[in-house]
């Protein structure tokens, strides 16, 4: 680490107003793209790359980084306001953020999401700046058993996002894993459960499934209850969280930042896994796990810190090894190549004039995102005050367009509608949708790496225990499953007893 070059890069990037302008364009575009369901940060970065051809490489790259960070944050805006995650990484934010929105606290929730995203993104960027080579060495040790163990650990979070019934949460999770079986088998290429349909050869696409689970189901419920649901006016005063409120969630943010950065640094994972694991851990370790899901600030802070911390983490393997941390960094890798730079170990040696400004640009993007987010909060909060009879059709339209935009396919819109109808009934019978989403994210990773590991070990399952990193994840995963189960069960029994006691008092 050459500190003189680092400080010089910070000075050049942060003190040049033109750089600030490009980062602002990137962040604002990212927030818009992230807030629109169906449009992902990956798509936004890919679409913005051609605009960087005529720019100085550093300016072009920091604009793309701004879009990356803004896009991941932007998903929380629609998750909180309309209950549809703008990006997959904001799905965990719905669990408490949307509930806060329904209580008239949308502004506060967005404020918390902004501050948490800023905190997580800054921690991730700082870790990326100072610890890239060391973290990359650990990430390089991940093989199929480690990836399976990580996915097993991630699936254990299903217990914490199961809501009132862990059994029904597990059923949802297994159902989600079954959905991932549709399409080409990842190892042999054999088409499975396609029933002769060409469109299903690629499987059920993730974004339409996400929109169906969270978007259409909310829209259908909204249309069903449009005459009976009370109108909620969003509070527009005191929407920036108070200092004592931020202090109360600070410990959670620190933990989530660490979790998010680490998970982001593992190639092939991403911000969505980071968000769920952060949320799950926050709930598991909370003194009041029963309050999660009822609209609390901690339930917004944890996933938003985790997913934005993962942006910095995902850059680590991309820059140091030339291996993308997630889908967005895969596109960013392409952008670097287009501009004539080859990511990998030699990038630090041969082009420090690009690497260090990337570090500085990432941190600048967090401050710009904080400013734009806090500045736009009142405007965002007013959206909830629009008449439901106008908003519901607009959200319906966004769901249709979002599920179409991924592959320009009406088939995807149809699949999304069907999943939406199923999710609509699931909500009524207390089957949660979040485990299905977790399963869709982790299912392919679980199956591929389980089978690869067993092939490598000639069928010996001890391979997962004899490798230290894999064993660590399995043991931590089992520990988290057991402790989460007992803590949540205990908390729910306590809550049920207090409800009965209240009823007896009234009687």
Partner 1 sequence: MVVKREDIGIGVGLIILSIWLFWYVGRYRPVEIYIYGPDFFPKILAVMMVVLGLGLIINAVLGNSLKMGDRIDPKGFVRMLISVAICIGYLFLTNILGFATATFVFLFVLMTFLKQRGILIRIFSSMATALIVWGIFRYFLIIPMPEGWLF
Q: Which residues sit at the interface with partner 1, rule CB under 8 A?
A: 29, 32-33, 36, 39, 43, 47, 164-165, 167-168, 170-171, 174-175, 177-178, 181, 185, 187-188, 190, 192-193, 220, 223-228, 387, 389-390, 392-394, 396-398, 400-401, 405, 408, 410, 413, 417, 421, 424, 428-430, 446-447, 450-451, 454-455, 459
In this complex, which beta carbon is closest to partner 1, that of residue 338 or of residue 454? Answer: 454
CA distance 467 to 459: 15
Question: 217 vs 252, which CB is nearer to partner 1?
Answer: 217
Q: Which CB atom, from 171 or from 338, has the smaller least distance to partner 1? A: 171
Evaluate whether 219 touches 396 at the Cβ level (below 8 Å).
yes
One-character DSSP codes across 46-69: HHHGGGGTTS-HHHHHHHHHHHHH
Beta bridge partners of 192: 183
CB closer to partner 1, 185 vs 353: 185
For residue 39, the minimal CB distance to partner 1 (Å) is 7
| The residue to which tokens 């600070």 are assigned | 250
CB of 200 to partner 1, least distance (A): 14
CB 209 within 8 A of CB 441: no
If DSSP codes are grouped into helix, strand and coil, which group holds residue 192? strand
Give the C-alpha separation, 28 to 48, whole Å: 12
* Nearer of residues 29 and 59 to partner 1, judged by Cβ: 29
Beta-bridged to residue 183, according to DSSP, are 192
C-beta closer to partner 1: residue 131 or 174 = 174
Q: Which is nearer to partner 1, 332 or 445 (CB)?
A: 445
Q: How far is the CB of 471 from partner 1 (least distance, A)?
A: 21
Contact yes or no for 118/70 (Cβ under 8 A)? no
* Minimum CB distance to partner 1, residue 148 (Å): 11
Which phi and psi angles does 184 have, rounded to 5°? -65, 135
State in angstroms the smallest separation of the CB of 163 from partner 1: 9
Q: How many contiguous H segments (helices) and E segments (strands) does the chain have?
A: 21, 2
Q: For residues 166 and 405, what is the distance between their CA atoms, to the nearest angstrom?
A: 35
In whole angstroms, the minimum distance from the beta carbon of 397 to partner 1 comes to 6
Q: Whose Cβ is closer to partner 1: residue 47's or residue 254's?
A: 47
Provide the minimum distance between the beta carbon of 185 and partner 1 in the complex, in angstroms, as a whole number.
Answer: 4
- Positive or negative torsion for Cα 137, 138, 139, 142: positive
User: What are 184's strand-pairing partners?
Assistant: 191
Structure tokens at 95: 């669990």
Q: Are 216 and 421 in contact (CB under 8 A)?
A: yes
Distances (CA, A) of 395 to 89, 219, 383: 19, 7, 12
Least Å distance between CB 496 and partner 1? 11
């Amino acid at each position: 680490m050459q500190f003189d070059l680092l400080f010089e890069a910070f000075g050049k990037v942060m003190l040049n107003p033109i750089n600030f302008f490009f980062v602002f364009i990137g962040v604002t575009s990212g927030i818009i793209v992230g807030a629109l369901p169906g449009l992902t940060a990956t798509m936004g970065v890919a679409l913005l790359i051609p605009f960087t051809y005529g720019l100085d490489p550093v300016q072009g790259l920091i604009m793309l980084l701004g879009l990356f960070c803004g896009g991941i944050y932007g998903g929380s805006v629609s998750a909180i306001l309309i209950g549809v995650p703008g990006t997959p990484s904001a799905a965990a934010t719905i669990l408490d953020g949307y509930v806060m929105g329904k209580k008239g606290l949308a502004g506060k929730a967005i404020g918390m999401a902004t501050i948490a995203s800023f905190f997580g993104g800054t921690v991730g960027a700082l870790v990326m700046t100072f610890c890239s080579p060391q973290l990359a060495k650990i990430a390089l040790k991940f093989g199929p058993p480690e990836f399976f163990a990580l996915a097993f650990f991630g699936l254990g979070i299903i217990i914490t996002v199961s809501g009132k019934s862990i059994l029904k949460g597990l059923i949802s999770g297994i159902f989600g894993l079954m959905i991932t079986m549709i399409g080409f088998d990842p190892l042999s290429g054999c088409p499975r459960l396609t029933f002769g349909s060409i469109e299903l050869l690629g499987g059920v696409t993730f974004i339409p499934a996400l929109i169906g689970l969270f978007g259409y189901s909310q829209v259908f419920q909204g249309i069903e209850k449009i005459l009976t649901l009370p109108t909620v006016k969003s509070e527009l005063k005191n929407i920036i969280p108070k200092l004592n409120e931020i202090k109360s969630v600070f410990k959670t943010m620190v933990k989530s930042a660490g979790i998010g950065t680490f998970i982001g640094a593992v190639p092939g994972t991403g911000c969505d896994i980071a968000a769920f694991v952060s949320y799950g851990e926050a709930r598991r370790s909370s003194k009041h796990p029963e309050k999660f899901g009822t609209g609390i600030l901690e339930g917004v802070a944890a996933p938003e810190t985790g997913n934005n911390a993962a942006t910095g983490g995902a850059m680590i393997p991309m820059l140091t090894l030339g291996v993308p941390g997630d889908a967005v960094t895969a596109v960013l890798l392409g952008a670097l190549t287009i501009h004539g730079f080859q990511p990998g170990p030699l990038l630090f040696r041969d082009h420090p004039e690009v690497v260090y400004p990337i570090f500085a640009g990432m941190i600048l993007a967090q401050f710009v995102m904080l400013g734009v987010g806090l500045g736009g909060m009142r405007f965002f909060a007013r959206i909830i005050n629009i008449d439901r009879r106008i908003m519901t059709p607009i959200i319906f339209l966004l769901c249709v367009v979002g599920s179409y935009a991924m592959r320009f396919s009406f088939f995807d819109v149809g699949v999304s509608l069907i999943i939406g109808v199923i999710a609509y009934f699931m909500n009524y019978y207390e089957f949660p949708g979040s485990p299905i989403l977790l399963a869709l994210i982790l299912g392919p990773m679980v199956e591929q790496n389980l089978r690869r590991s067993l092939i490598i070990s000639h069928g010996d399952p001890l391979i997962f225990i004899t490798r230290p990193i894999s064993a660590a994840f399995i043991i931590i995963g089992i520990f988290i499953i057991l402790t989460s189960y007992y803590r949540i069960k205990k908390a729910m029994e306590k809550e049920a007893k207090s409800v009965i006691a209240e009823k007896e008092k009234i009687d």
